[in-house]
Amino acid sequence: MQRQESSPPIIQCENLVKIYKTRDLEVLALQGLELEVARGELMAIIGNSGSGKSTFLNMIGGLDRPSAGRLIVDGKDLFKLSAQELVLYKRSTVGFVWQNNARNLLPYLTALQNVEMPMRFDRDARRKRQRAQELLELVGMSHRRHSRLDQLSGGEQQRVAIAIALANGPKILLADEPTGAVDARTASYLMDVFRKLNEELGLTIVIVTHDPHLARKVNRVVSIRDGKTSVERIARGDYASRLDEVAGFEEETHDEYAILDRAGRLQLPREMLEALGVTGNQVRVEMAEGKIVITAPPRREEA
């Protein structure tokens, strides 16, 4: 589904900061993150372990509070929500899919019963059962609706988990490493399920992953480095045309852009700086033929 540029973004964060404190340690997980997500967008967030991507997802999901900055989701300022309002927000606005299926599923229930669990406050048993069956059909799992957790493969469990996340009709689906515990073929199939949900339901989907090759399955990829947005990759064409291109490198299907923050600062990839021979914290910046050129400073002769 195309991003709905005319409407306000469904997720908007400005200068977002998250600090975790213990008695002896202070960890800066996010350092002024700037990011917007359009309604109906299918996007991925990538980054190394500790980059802050899962922290960001937890804050969107209402599982953690920001330390500073601004975070607006579906018109709600998450800084200002009371505890009761936050419960309602998590129940109606976001759905979560975890990598660890122990967090998604109850092993002693069938797939159908698991999907019905988030709807337990609905007293209409017939309506609840019908809704659960429709969701299992949507993710291709209606034929396994009476199977328990130990009777399902890892990919099947994740599809049931996606159905559970959709049970309360969220506007945003958040997936934290949803393909991390399955093989490459199953991971590709799960990404096709996310794309189907995005196209058919108009659902906004944000996927956190460490696998850059999944970029061919989404429209936008945001790379987070050291708690900040560093690079975005935007799909060049529609999904069908990208599948016809050579597989294996997201650079062939997406254009890459570095990100400026509101102060005009740019985070350069470390590998590029190393290739330039930059060893300190200084570079030379010049304008040449309408382009900004960055070079390493001349080496100083030792006395």
Which CATH number characterizes residue 73's domain?
Answer: 3.40.50.300
- pLDDT at 277 exceeding the cut of 60: yes
- pLDDT at 246 exceeding the cut of 50: no
Residues 196, 252, single domain; the answer is yes
Residue 147 lies in a domain: no
Residue 30 lies in a domain: yes
As a whole number, mean pLDDT of residues 193-209 equals 92
Interhelix angle 184-201/125-138, rounded to 10 degrees, is: 120
pLDDT at 6 (0 to 100): 61
Residue 68 lies in a domain: yes
Residues 294, 240, single domain; the answer is no
Work out how many domains the chain is built from and give that number: 2
- pLDDT at 244 exceeding the cut of 60: no
pLDDT at 250 (0 to 100): 44
As a whole number, mean pLDDT of residues 200-205 equals 93
Residues 178, 254, single domain; the answer is yes
Per-residue pLDDT reduced to its tens digit, 23-63: 777 777 887 788 899 999 999 988 777 778 888 898 899 98
- pLDDT at 247 exceeding the cut of 50: no
Per-residue pLDDT reduced to its tens digit, 265-275: 677 777 777 78
pLDDT at 303 (0 to 100): 46
Residue 146 lies in a domain: no
- pLDDT at 240 exceeding the cut of 80: no
CA atoms within 13 A on the CB side of 109: 15
Residue 244 lies in a domain: yes
As a whole number, mean pLDDT of residues 191-220 equals 86
Residues 174, 247, single domain; the answer is yes
Residues 184, 260, single domain; the answer is yes
Residues 191, 257, single domain; the answer is yes
Residue 289 lies in a domain: yes
Alpha-helical regions (H) of 202-269: 239-243
As a whole number, mean pLDDT of residues 123-150 equals 90
Per-residue pLDDT reduced to its tens digit, 204-215: 999 998 776 776
Residue 1 lies in a domain: no
Query: Which domain covers residue 284, as residue numbers?
Result: 269-303
Residues 273, 263, single domain; the answer is no
Q: Rounded CA gap, 241 and 214, in Å?
A: 16
Chain centroid to CA 284 = 35
Residues 261, 294, single domain; the answer is no
